[in-house]
Amino acid sequence: MQEKKTALFLILIVLIGLGLRFAPVMLFGTQMSYDAPYHQRIAEKVFELKEIPLMDESMGGRANIYPPLYSVFQNIMHYATGFDFFFLGMILLPIISLLAILTVFVFVRKYAGTRKALLAAFLTAISSSLIAYAFDSPENFVFFFLPAVILLFNENKGKLGAVIYASGLLWNYLIIIASVIPLIFYLRKKIKELIYVGLGLLLTVIYYFVFHGESVFYNQDINLAMDFVSLSFKPAFFVSVLISYLLIIPLIYFIWKNGLNKKADYWKYFIFLSLISLTTVFLTPFLRAWEQIKFLSLSSIIVLACIQVFDKKVKIYAGVYVLILFCSSLVMCFQGFYPSTMKQDFSSMKFLEEFTEKGSILAEPSFSEHMRNTTGLNERILTSLYFENTGKNSFLKESLNYLTFQEIENEKEFFEKSDLRFIALNFEDKATRNTDKIKEKETFNKIYSMKYYRKCLIQNKIIGYTCGWNETEVLEYNEYGK
């Protein structure tokens, strides 16, 4: 009877997680967040070539250094279901994000019991940061299997754990880089397991070098990318950092005071490292501090559930934690805080394709990637999600600086050299980069506009900046050719 109740509660939790993860893609009718259109294009190239492409054509070509397994997985699902890559880009990663609920449940149930496992599963289902990153990165696969990997190490199945963990490099680099130092701390007395992990990671790195060689290091300018992304996140990021500190610091106190199941120590190390890394937001965007919030979310959920003494203070803290996560997730999912492109934006892409065959086009990188996938404008687009691809003819640095600050030294010279004629803007540009300044310049004419209204629960641009009236616009540089 108890097992049936547990199963029913778990099914309900999964359904809640499903609703929160699929509400945005259903409401907006398109892929969410930044990297999804890039992954769609690479998957389509894999389908066309029947191999992993070594080059991507955007920005004149650059070595395709992204891990290959997600592109392969998309192709497998395409053959299995018949769904096109655009639709698969909408649903696959949210589904994998959802499955992390199950591996967290299994891990916590093993070491802390069923009730705490259900709490951990519920927190995973409603975690706003895990949901926010559920749409655009294959790191969701690593979030899904990482609890299982730690469970395997705990149960003396180190070889299998090491193989699965090393495979994470074939899904996403960042989560492996962030999680390997805590793993070294955790396995420091298990030399054999550490050797397995090191060997697996080494073989994977050799694989990359064999297939990509020195081209991996060409045209790299990571700082440029980080500056642009950090400025885009700025309206909400420091609030998220503050909330993270307010939630995690009390949890660290409860670990120290009430004890933690030794089998969950890995997640304690993960919290400490992520919290330290989050602090770098005050120093430099280069270390991608915003990524640490999702790592803190996963690790803190498991640590909270595995605290040995669940006294009254811990219960009150857990209640506050649930309330904050649930409310922030509802606002995020149903107020549309973070989608970078909506269905209405695609009509402006079609307009640009049909309007003229001359002149370069400047648009926010994710917007540009959708444009590449749905039009024949690739060679005319100045930005790319390959942020760091700063080849001598890319004009990427100047383009991103202009979008960010609406000003650039020797503006006319930049426009002439890059042949820039059009700027495409949508709601995100206005909300995060104040691009209304561009429209105020006498050098631009508005040649296309689509205004549309999106009803939200709370019509407030601060809470959800896609709510109310929005506009997709195309501006033309009126000194073109002079």
What is the spatial distance between Cα 168 and Cα 94, in angstroms, rounded to a whole number?
A: 18
Phi–psi pair at 446, nearest 5 degrees: -85, 120
Q: Which pLDDT value is given to residue 233?
A: 65
Residue with tokens 């990671």: 201
pLDDT reading at 434 higher than 70: yes
Q: What pTM was computed for the model?
A: 0.89
Contact between 79 and 88 (Cβ < 8 Å): no
Q: Which pLDDT value is given to residue 481?
A: 44
> Residues 274-313: pLDDT tens digits?
888 887 766 666 667 777 888 989 999 999 999 998 888 9
Count Cβ atoms within 10 A of the Cβ of residue 248 and give its class: 0-12 exposed, 13-18 middle, 19 or more buried: buried
What is the spatial distance between Cα 293 and Cα 233, in angstroms, rounded to a whole number?
A: 13
Mention every residue, 6+ apart, whose C-beta is less than 8 A from residue 31.
25, 37, 40, 86, 89, 90, 135, 136, 341, 370
Amino acid at 99: L
Q: How confident is the model at residue 327 (pLDDT cuts 50, 70, 90)?
A: confident
Which SS3 state, helix, strand or coil, does residue 172 take? coil
> Mean of the pLDDT values across residues 453-469?
78
Contact between 6 and 114 (Cβ < 8 Å): yes
Q: Which pLDDT value is given to residue 286?
A: 60
- Of 4-8, 206-210, 372-376, 423-427, the one with minimum mean pLDDT is 206-210
